[in-house]
Amino acid sequence: MKFLIDFISAILYFVCIFTKIKNMLYSIYAESTPNPEVMKFVANRPLTANSIEVTSEDEAKDHLIIIELFKFTYIKKIYINNNFISITKNSEEKWENIVMHIRNFITDILNNNKNFISKNNDVVQHKNLKNNNSFSNSEKEIEKILNEYIRPAVEGDGGEIALKSVEGNIVTVIMKGACSGCPSASITLKNGVEHLLQTKINKDIKVVAEEI
């Protein structure tokens, strides 16, 4: 009997914790990235399971938060992944004049709209990217290396490097978020991605990048 009581108590405890997390308000803080035109806005809770990147309100579909953010004319691109939003502004605006307003705006939307991101967020995926299930064996090997060694650091800087294709020794990737247009992106590709793939797979591999 004591075992049963302890078991039920444990279940109730975890249900209580889960409910608290589910009902927890979002808080947001801003974090600079290596790209001077991109600011990363980090939430204390997950926002999406799949990355989303759009360059205009027309591409936003049913994503309320993206539609609302594009009402600010200085915003050029929005990238959402995991628990953060990377926003690319135009070069005329200065972050010190807009960052607090954007942070408060995002916080307000997240806490007052249950469906701030559409559940059907596959509609905003890059049209040239393959589904992981259709990768060849060589692409799967490269994807595994990117997931293990590259993506955690890149996401930490507010961006993403997505595998597009492998043709012979040429590996083509898509630069997203803060990686797109970043002054240090070429260094990341050559000294990071390309060198790693040459070391682990084939010394003749070359990595080329495309941007959305």
pTM of the predicted structure, to 2 decimals? 0.81
Which of 12-16, 70-74, 165-169, 172-176 has the lowest average pLDDT?
12-16
Q: How far is CA 127 from CA 95, 124, 149, 154, 204, in A?
A: 31, 8, 25, 22, 28
Confidence (pLDDT) at 121:
53
Q: Is the pLDDT of residue 90 over 50?
A: yes
Residues 160 and 80: their CA atoms lie apart, in Å, by 10
Confidence (pLDDT) at 136:
84
Express as a percent the part of the chain with pLDDT over 90.
65
Are 197 and 206 contacting, i.e. CB atoms less than 8 angstroms apart?
no
Which of 21-30, 62-71, 72-81, 146-155 has the lowest average pLDDT?
21-30
Confidence (pLDDT) at 124:
46
pLDDT in tens, 187-206: 888 888 999 999 999 999 99
Contacts of range 147-155, beta carbons closer than 8 Å, 24 or more positions apart: 149/196, 150/192, 150/193, 150/196, 154/179, 154/188, 155/81, 155/82, 155/84
Express as a percent the part of the chain with pLDDT over 70.
81
- Side-chain half-sphere CA neighbours of 62 within 13 A: 10
Please count the residues of the chain: 212
Q: Is the pLDDT of residue 80 over 90?
A: yes
Residues 159 and 140: their CA atoms lie apart, in Å, by 21
Confidence (pLDDT) at 129:
57
Q: One-letter amino acid identity for 106?
A: I
pLDDT band at 146 (very low <50, low <70, confident <90, very high): very high
* Domains of the chain from N-terminus onward: 25-124 (3.30.1370.70), 132-211 (3.30.300.130)
pLDDT in tens, 93-135: 999 999 999 999 999 999 998 788 876 654 445 544 555 667 8
